[in-house]
Chains A and B, each alone.
Chain A
Amino acid sequence: MIRFTNVTKDYENQTALRDITFVVEKGEMAFITGPSGSGKTTLLKLIYSAERPDQGTISVAGFDLDQLKESSIPLLRRHIGVVFQDFRLLANRNIFDNVAMALRIRNMPEREIKTKVYETLKAVNLRHKSDSFPRSLSGGEQQRVVIARAMVADPTVLLADEPTGNLDADTAEGVVRTFKDINARGTTMLIATHNRELYRNTGRKVIRLEAGALVSVVQG
């Protein structure tokens, strides 16, 4: 489902990722870990084509990203749900509209959007907050809104960048439970985190990066 082959990415004389090769199979839940600046976010950006590799090939959900035209990037992104580290919630829209946005860009009829969004908000236990605005929600609640937006369109791949970075232990545990539920439905997942508790003793694949290089692929 996600395949990196000898991928290198440079930013103005600085190597962000160097010769990365790994595979995440369909339906698998894997983690990318490593210290800050090790290249976790860059690796995720390469998957949803916010960045292009300088060398190597990437394949995601059947798309060969090195051959992907700019006009086809939206099609790729519709197969991928992303939980952004900085949330990227729109402050001037309520929770319903923030989640619905992922469906509206697909030109889905409003009636279907309503049903799907309420179902998804219920799944993350935020149905009662649908009319609230992001700034009135706690960090954990905002995180769950972002997860709802990422999963509402039933993506084949779900990426999460430091999903528990600003959360307390209990809320983080709730987020992990939600991820496990999503993965149980067959969604391939790749979670970037430096929080060991998230992957310890899970038996899941853990890809460890250091200074842009892949140092190990082990079972957590």
Chain B
Amino acid sequence: MIVAPYSFRLALQSLVGEKWINLLSVFTIASGLLVIGIAFFAAYNIDAATRKLPEKFAMILYLDDAITRDKVDAILAGLKKKPEVAQVRYIGKDEAMKELKSLLKNANYVFEGLDENPLPDSIEVRLRQEAVNPDQVRKLTDEITRLKGVREIDYGEKFLTALHSLKSGVRTVGLSIIMIIATGIIFVCYSTVKILFYRRTEEIETFKLLGATKFFIRAPFIIEGGVIGMAGGLASLGGILILNYAVIARLGTAVPLLATLLFPLNLFLLLPLVGLFLGVTGAMIAIGRLRY
């Protein structure tokens, strides 16, 4: 079906003719999308802040004192074959002591009285970014624990679980907010289009009697719903930009954490498109439910 230019003209005439209803709808949709935008903004920054953390994540395998070099090489070879593993490094007990001394160079007194090196040989395992999640790490830990020669594994379970919970929590809350507000926006568009439709009942009846198809009658309302939704998206984008530059950028000098926040460029496309989609959806539901 081709939407005739006249359908756009009818939509434009209605947008201008019913400007107060339409402006009110745009404002309501913009408010909803502003909340969605802020949720996205927060999720984006939490994600950006935690994105580098998995790269720093490492498992340390402490080896038995009596382990032979051949056995260590076998364990290293076995670990390298695992798809989750990005990098392995053997740390002999002497090297471990050297690293510890360098780390505690201002507190050398702790090493006084040590006759022999108490540190065990170890293997540092770094995982691929996508493998750094509690379930996969736990599974890998179980596999490694079964290897002979490995005494203990340290992988910061609490940190990993907390990180994972934070991310999934943000995702769940964000999605819930988005779903609730998106439903609200669809309802606003639905109601607006329904009101506009009823205000033009006489005109629509005449169109029908002259031979207009359902598509000809529906198209202007769907266009109008889309325009209202998109305008709401653009207005909410303006709101977020104002918040970002007028509030966050200004307070950034006083609160350094705010200065580290990033503005997600995706919002420039996302908000108008989400507005358009929700506007068209609301209009289609409204027009589809009407009997005419």
Return A150 CB to nearest CB of chain B, in Å: 9
Does B288 sit within 8 A of A, measured CB to CB? Answer: no
> Which interface class (under 10, 10 to 19, 20 to 34, 35 or more) fits A?
20 to 34
* CB contact under 8 A between A75 and B211, given known A104-B6, A105-B216, A107-B4: yes
Residue with the highest number of chain A CB atoms closer than 10 Å, among B6, B208, B214 = B6
Does A118 sit within 8 A of B, measured CB to CB? Answer: no
Contacts of A101 in B (CB 8 A): 206-207, 210
In the bound assembly, the distance between CA atoms of A159 and B229 in angstroms comes to: 43
Does B209 sit within 8 A of A, measured CB to CB? Answer: yes
Check A50–B209 contact: CB distance below 8 A.
Answer: yes
Which of the residues A90, A92, A106 comes within 8 Å of B211, measured between beta carbons? A106
* CB contact under 8 A between A77 and B206, given known A104-B6, A105-B216, A107-B4: no
In the bound assembly, the distance between CA atoms of A55 and B5 in angstroms comes to: 42
* CB contact under 8 A between A77 and B6, given known A88-B206, A90-B206, A105-B216: no
- B-facing residues in A67-104 (Cβ within 8 Å): 71, 74-78, 80, 82, 84, 88, 90, 92, 101-102, 104
Check A105–B203 contact: CB distance below 8 A.
Answer: no
* CB contact under 8 A between A77 and B211, given known A104-B6, A107-B4: yes
Contacts of A50 in B (CB 8 A): 209
Does A48 sit within 8 A of B, measured CB to CB? Answer: yes
* CB contact under 8 A between A82 and B209, given known A90-B203, A104-B6, A107-B4: yes
- A-facing residues in B204-227 (Cβ within 8 Å): 205-214, 216
Return A187 CB to nearest CB of chain B, in Å: 16
> Which interface class (under 10, 10 to 19, 20 to 34, 35 or more) fits B?
10 to 19
Q: Helix, strand, loop or mixed for chain B's interface?
A: helix
Return A201 CB to nearest CB of chain B, in Å: 33
Check A84–B209 contact: CB distance below 8 A.
Answer: yes
Which of the residues A48, A75, A106 comes within 8 Å of B209, measured between beta carbons? A48
Contacts of A77 in B (CB 8 A): 208-211
- A-facing residues in B18-53 (Cβ within 8 Å): none
Chain B residue at smallest Cβ distance from A107: B4
Check B210–A105 contact: CB distance below 8 A.
Answer: yes
User: What are 10 inter-chain pairs, A to B, with CB distance below 8 A?
Assistant: A74-B213, A76-B211, A77-B211, A88-B206, A90-B206, A101-B207, A105-B216, A107-B6, A107-B216, A149-B210
Chain A residue at smallest Cβ distance from B217: A105
